Amino acid sequence: MDRIDAMNVFTRIVEVRSFTKVAADLGLPRSTVTDAVKGLEARLSVSLLHRTTRVVRPTLDGEAYYRRCLSILSEIEDAEDAFAGTKPKGMLRVDVHGVLARHFLLPTLPDFLERYPDIQIHIGEGDRLVDLVREGVDCALRVGNPIDSDMIGRKLADLDEVTCASPDYLERFGTPSTIDALEGHQMVGFWSTATGAILPLEFVQNGKVQIFKLPTPVTVSGAEAYAQCACLGLGIIQKPRYSAAEDLKAGRLVELLKDTPPTSSRVSIFYPRDRYLSPRVRVFVDWAVKVFMKTSPI
């Protein structure tokens, strides 16, 4: 293994904190990964990693070398990418909420892969926050504002939201004509992994945001379960209009309080601040921006 490949292995170990996982991710024998680090340590005459049966973490020298490796690897990728005819290649790991993926990204994904045939994409679906660096994810699409200063976020769109409930629920609890009439109603609770709390209902009235916390007979942490609970008559919900469209059209849900709509939801794409952006990540980010501009102009 040459020095550049060894640097790449070392940086991944620092990020993932596991020799075994890096070996699996890169398709290498574990012994090759171990030898790569030993070779770097012998060349530098320093210890780069603390190793125990449970933990792998960089030493102070390892932290400093890790930063230099990132810079060097970034320069190499930029240099190679500068030549005409060089196309982005390799595995691209993206984390995105499943509904976002199915509605916005997947319909035009064949066009992206046709344009960049040397890129392979792994799309992970989930609502939870992920540690992009530790889990080896290149970028993530999320709704809401970033809470991690180590992440860079690029806005993709502001999505309109709707307040809705099922006909069965409205028959039992009545249809509120104003937000002041919400007393006596209940909502399906959505547990946010970002805030560690149930999200309240939000309404824009006269340019100001009004927040309501209603009783929550059931709480969920997934978007599909959230919508299903509303369709079953368990409470009022607020969700992006695009994802509620089918249920509204089919009559499973009814839009409420149109004169005081919810606040919009910002969709952004996040990537680590301190990691270089490979060409494959750059082209994916640019493509995602264009996809959302076409379907939901910023």
Domains of the chain: 3-81 (1.10.10.10), 90-158+266-295 (3.40.190.10), 161-263 (3.40.190.10)
The answer to which of 1-5, 235-239, 253-257 has the lowest mean pLDDT is 1-5
pLDDT at position 162 is 96
Which tens digit of pLDDT belongs to each residue from 202-244? 999 988 999 999 999 999 988 889 999 999 999 999 999 988 9
- Cα–Cα distances (Å) from 86 to 5, 36, 83, in that order, read 20, 28, 6
In this structure, are residues 188 and 216 in contact, taking their beta carbons and an 8 Å threshold? yes
Instruction: Give helix then strand counts, H and E, for the chain.
Output: 10, 15
Q: What is the 3-state secondary structure (H, E, C) of 245-265?
A: HHHHHHCCCEEECCCCCCCCE
Q: Is residue 149 over pLDDT 80?
A: no
